Chains A and B, each alone.
Chain A
Amino acid sequence: MKRDQRFKSGLVPSLNPARYNLERWSYTVHRVTGVILVGYLVAHIFETFQLTGGASAWANTMSALHSLGPMEMVGLWLVAGSALYHGGNGIRLILNEAFGLFMGKPILPVYPYSPTSLGKNQRAAVWIITALVLALWIWAGLYLLAGLGVI
């Protein structure tokens, strides 16, 4: 494959939102949570595939997972957070892209410039989704801790 000779191009710069807008940060979190979900999906398919090896293979898989101790629950908590953020932000993006919601109409630019696509409606949508996701993620954490018998 031909090496990309462009300056600061590629995966790492594309995920760096430093000094950019809120939506750019949201983009980075969306991508990272997407990768976590894909990783979980692959692991989950591998896990359930062990059923084909019979009851003993399944029991071995479960015991291997439980031997991770609290790390198993931390992993599940991360997956829950990823699913919540990716889903919630995905709904915002569908509203943006398919219906043009929160984008505003074309305007005559007047200085000082403030793009309507990144305006207060868009920011409010991002913050509402973030707040909802955080609340549900905390609840998911408490639910998992209760499953461990900690609370």
Chain B
Amino acid sequence: MDKIILKITRSGGKHVSYEVKHRKGMTVLDALTEVRERQDSSLGFRHSCRMGICGSCGMTIEGLPMLACQTQVSSLNTQTISIEPLHNMVVIRDLVVDILPFFDLHRSVRPYLIRNDVSERDHSDREYRVLAEEVAKFLQFDYCIMCALCYAACPTVALDPLYTGPQAVAQAYRYMADPRDEGWETRVNLLDTSHGVWRCHMAGACSFVCPKDVDPAKAVQLARMELLKKRILRKRGREGSKLVSPPVTGAAKEGVKPPPFDFGGVKK
């Protein structure tokens, strides 16, 4: 395969084809960049890190939501590659979609540790205890890069624009499973709505397209089980894990006060 043809759905729904010389190891993002640099500088698409970390270059490639930087042209086994914007989102220009509604849904589930005593959380010189087996319950969902591929793939989102969506539910569950968090009840109430977690029909498309194996479908079902515990077993929110002293250093052993906790180099 010497040459490939990119068939791109641009603003207004028109299809424009570009021919690009194929080289070994070329990704779809490489091909798009080549088109913009050498053929059509007006082509709009979003990208940043080029290594599957930032989640900016999500687009529909050959009918499936994918990261353009992670998709090798040769893996698609076709000479003509169809590229569209992500589904279920409003197109701003060409392949650039409005991602703000998606981020709003993410924010709506309060994706951060909620503590009853805020001062303890914000001005502490000690740390919360989390055991390795407790981390294992939520670490997988922590790998989300917010690329919105799951959101674009979800058939429920296609039907219900108010649905919380697989990404946001997965992030809600990530914090519900965190022993440091005390916002279990708050998040359960946020998800327990007609547009919340009950809308999922377990099509599994979100997990199928996730580039980081966050497995949102699993998180949604786990969140749903938490909601059932609340409704049937009358489960209540729990107290978060307690603050513990930092590891005892040699200086502390000798009765010397340990230095203030280092918050990434910034002394409190």
Contact = CB atoms under 8 A, between A and B. Distances in A.
Interface of A: 4-11, 13-15, 18-21, 23-24, 26-28, 30-31, 93, 96-100, 103-104, 106-109, 113-118, 122
23 contacts: A5-B90, A6-B87, A7-B84, A7-B86, A7-B87, A9-B88, A18-B63, A23-B205, A23-B208, A93-B202, A98-B225, A100-B221, A103-B221, A104-B218, A106-B137, A106-B140, A106-B141, A107-B140, A108-B140, A109-B140, A109-B214, A113-B213, A117-B221
B204 A23 contact: yes
Contacts of B127: none
Given A6-B90, A13-B87, A21 B204 contact: yes
B90 A115 contact: no
B233 interface: no
Of B86, B143, B213, B224, most buried by chain A (CB within 10 Å of CB) is: B213
Q: Which 5 A-B pairs have the closest CB atoms?
A: A113-B213, A109-B213, A23-B204, A27-B203, A14-B158
A96 B205 contact: no
A30 B200 CA distance: 13
Contacts of B140: 106-109
Nearest to A8: B87
Interface string B245-260: 0000000000000000
Nearest to A13: B158
Contacts of A20: 64, 153, 203, 205, 208
A16 B155 CA distance: 9
Interface of B: 60, 62-64, 84-91, 97, 136-141, 143, 153, 155-159, 161, 177, 200-205, 207-208, 210-215, 217-218, 221-222, 224-225, 228
A116 B203 contact: no
Contacts of B136: 106, 108
Contacts of B211: 113
Contact of B218 (A9, A28, A31, A103): A103
B155 A117 contact: no
B192 to A, nearest CB: 14
A16 to B, nearest CB: 9
A94 B214 CA distance: 22
A98 B228 contact: yes
A109 B86 contact: no
A18 B86 CA distance: 16
Given A7-B91, A19-B62, A20-B205, A115 B210 contact: yes
A37 B157 CA distance: 24
A19 B161 contact: no
